[in-house]
Amino acid sequence: MATATDDAMRRLAEEDCWALLERETLGRLGLVVAGDLEIFPVNYRVDGRRLLFRTAEGTKLAGLTVHDQVVFEIDGADETSAWSVVVKGTARVLEHEAELLHAEQVPSASWLPTLKTRFVEIRPSSMSGRGFRRGPEPELDPSAF
């Protein structure tokens, strides 16, 4: 369960983070490509305690084969609250027949009408989440300076 750190922000427990990851389908993948940090939007699904996404040949896939350490983030908001989950971990392109057959069974949907023939898994090494109560910014007390 969430732990209060102040009135407007709370840390999310790992199970709460997984629940949010399971309900969403779009996230941002951060990785190193040719020595630069890059961020890519990806459609993903949770499978057990890993994240799966499909991709095509290109910059993202090439970067993952050189640097397997990644960061993955999702967030969301409604009228009264907002949240963010950050996963750090290791990415790996799936290659073995059994794991590819399993990955094919995990429901997924792409937002783009492009063929994506490669599966990538992210195995988390750490996870953090924050929940926020939305509202107006408080007035600044001039005597605080």
| pLDDT given for residue 131 in this prediction | 96
Percent helix, strand and coil across the chain, each rounded to 5? 20, 50, 30
CA nearest 56: which of 6, 14, 10, 112? 112
**Digits of tens for pLDDT over the chain (145 positions)?**
444 446 789 999 999 999 999 999 999 999 999 999 999 999 999 999 999 999 988 899 999 989 999 999 999 999 999 999 999 999 999 988 888 788 787 877 777 777 787 899 999 999 999 999 998 888 888 887 7
pTM (two decimals)? 0.85
Quote the pLDDT of residue 2. Answer: 47
Q: Which of 100, 93, 84, 80 is nearest to 123 (CA)?
A: 93
The answer to whether residues 92 and 120 touch, using CB atoms and an 8 Å cutoff, is yes
In 3D, which of 17, 42, 57 has the Cα closest to residue 121? 42
Question: How far apart, in Å, are the Cα atoms of 124 and each of 60, 133, 143?
Answer: 18, 27, 45
* Residue 6 pLDDT: 60
Q: How big is the chain, counted in residues?
A: 145
Q: Which residues pair with 88 in a beta bridge?
A: 71, 126
The pair of structure tokens assigned to 39 is 């961020």
Angle at CA of residue 106, ends 71 and 81, nearest 5°: 50
* Residue 93 pLDDT: 94
- Kindly state which CATH superfamily the domain 3-135 is placed in: Electron Transport, Fmn-binding Protein; Chain A (2.30.110.10)
